Structure 1
Amino acid sequence: MSTAEKKVKLDIVSDVMCPWCFVGKRRLEKALKNIDQEIDVEIKWLPFQLDATLPPEGKDRQLYLSEKFGGKENAEKFYQTIKQAGDDEGIDFDFDAIEVSPNTMDAHRLIAWAGQQGDEQQDRIVELLFKAYFQDGKNIGDHAVLAKIAAEGGMDAQQVSGRLKSDDGLIETRQAVDHAHQIGVNGVPCFIFDGKYGVSGAQAPETLAMAIGKIANGEGL
């Protein structure tokens, strides 16, 4: 196979309120450093909602944890494994800083708009959203917060703010979330290679690198 043919399309189905998705992003970044540099990996971030029932303004974090885990203590036990995984990947999760569990629909709209400006722009916005939520405790469902993240990521904050106030991209984002369910995605992150092969979970860098290499060389998974 010639160099020009060594291309891999990688769709990442993810939710920015999913800590394992943040861990998965870090592990993918490690994987990309350890693949044949002749391989061109085209990455797109696609939306998923862990909890679409959350109201647009989000829900008090402690109330959310109480309803989901039966209290903060149970939640802390659940997040202990994630915290360790984060430490291993250089992510300093600060779950205590989170005051609001957000509805992520508008964050996904922002990610989609960033994607219209290129893969690197989209990746930059996804990274900023993860950091804002998991390390700074920001409410990434809040329009002012999203506009600020957009500006930090090099987008036009005023334009983003205006689009967030409208229904721009809302139907398309909901359809994309529905599509993820329709193709069998029931947990994230989910890595989909060339639209054919799906790998679920925050996989080890070696696993992701191997999968990318096989797809690039015309092999199946």
Structure 2
Amino acid sequence: MSSLKVEFFHDVVCGWCFVLAPRLKQLQAELDLDIQHRSFILQTSREAMIERFGSMPQAKDTILGHWQACARAEDEKRINIEGMRQQPFEYPNGLLAARACQTANALGGNAAHEQMFDRLQLAHLVQSRNIGDKATVLAIAAEAGFDPQAFEHAFEHDAPALLEQDLRLGRHLGISSVPSLVIADRYLIPGALGLEQLRQSLNNIRQELAAKPEGAVQ
């Protein structure tokens, strides 16, 4: 039996992506999952944040309210709401972090994308660091073991096109929220499912694929 392809569409600044990622990773070996990381940003600029939330202070207040639900759902209880609330910087959009994930992908493939995504989420949701600041993002990449010069070069020259590929793919597949999983190019699972529900959903899909090997995204 071949591995089950799972495309994980995520945004580094998304608390629900932080909730889902460890559950997906926990099931990877058990269910023989081929997890492919994809960037999908909901707001790509300060202007988009203001359009969505009304103002930058309101954006931070609203999103940290969402973090409360994420913190209740997160299995490891790491989300640091008060740490982020006390920071003087505006709540970041996900553009620079997504470019960093794509940079890692350019340098080291999907595994490096996953590593960078995890490190940036930890920095954002637990350590209260400003991942909307390029210098901070580059520092996190260096801490993760990437060569600083190679990373910065790829960040500027390779990452934008790779990011646009993921965004186009997400739009083509009908992604409208994160986290979202696309299974075997056919099945869409939105949201941060609990571990048992996720396990059951993936097992059900594997059984359906065995019975109906052809089909479109649903």
What TM-score range do you get, normalising by the shorter chain? 0.7 to 0.9
Q: Does 1:80 align with 2:86?
A: no
Q: Which of 5, 9, 12 matches 2:8?
A: 12
Change (3 A) 1:90 1:13: same
Q: How does 1:128-207 map to 2 (within 5 A)?
A: 128-164=119-155, 166-207=156-197
RMSD: 3.0
Partner of 2:76: 89
Q: TM-score, normalised by structure 2?
A: 0.79
CA contact (8 A) 2:181 2:190 kept: yes
Structure 2 unaligned residues grouped into runs of 5+: 213-217
Shift of 1:108: 1.5
Shift of 1:64: 1.8
| Counterpart-to-counterpart distance in 1, 2:65 and 2:113 | 33
CA distance in 1, matches of 2:145, 2:24: 23
Q: How far is 1:97 from its partner?
A: 4.5
Larger helix proportion of the pair: 2
Secondary structure of the corresponding residue to residue 133 of structure 1: helix
Which has the higher mean CA deviation after the structures are superposed, 128-137 or 96-105?
A: 96-105
3-state SS in 1 of match to 2:93: coil
| TM-score relative to the length of structure 1 | 0.78
* Contact 1:6/1:216 (8 A) holds in 2: no
Q: Which has the higher contact order (CA 8 A, sep 6+)?
A: 1
SS at match of 2:46: coil
* 2:5–2:184 contact (8 Å) kept in structure 1: yes
Contact 2:103 2:158 in 1 (8 A): no
Q: Deviations over 1:15-61 (max 9, x none)?
A: 0011111011122233336x35xx2x2212111112123269x99xx
| SS in structure 2 of the partner of residue 45 of structure 1 | strand
Contact 2:103 2:154 in 1 (8 A): no
> What is the CA-CA distance between 1:11 and the residue it aligns to?
0.7
Q: CA 1:163–1:80 in structure 2 vs 1: closer, same or farther (change >3 Å)?
A: same
Distance 2:23 2:86 in 1: 24
* Separation of aligned partners in 1, 2:153 and 2:28: 36
The alignment status of 1:28 with 2:24, answered yes or no, reads yes
Q: 1:77 to 1:153 in 2, by over 3 A?
A: closer
Q: What is the percent sequence identity of the aligned residues?
A: 24
Aligned to 1:213: 203
8 Å CA contact 1:103–1:141 kept in 2: the answer is: yes
- Matched ranges for 1:113-124 at <5 A: 113-116=103-106, 117-124=108-115
C-alpha distance in 1, partners of 2:190/2:26? Answer: 17
* Partner Cα separation in structure 1 for residue 91 and residue 99 of structure 2: 18
CA pair 158-97 structure 1, distance change in 2 beyond 3 A: farther
Unaligned 5+ residue runs, structure 1? none
Alignment CA distance shift 1:77-1:23 (3 Å): same
CA distance 1:131–1:183, shift in 2 (3 Å): same
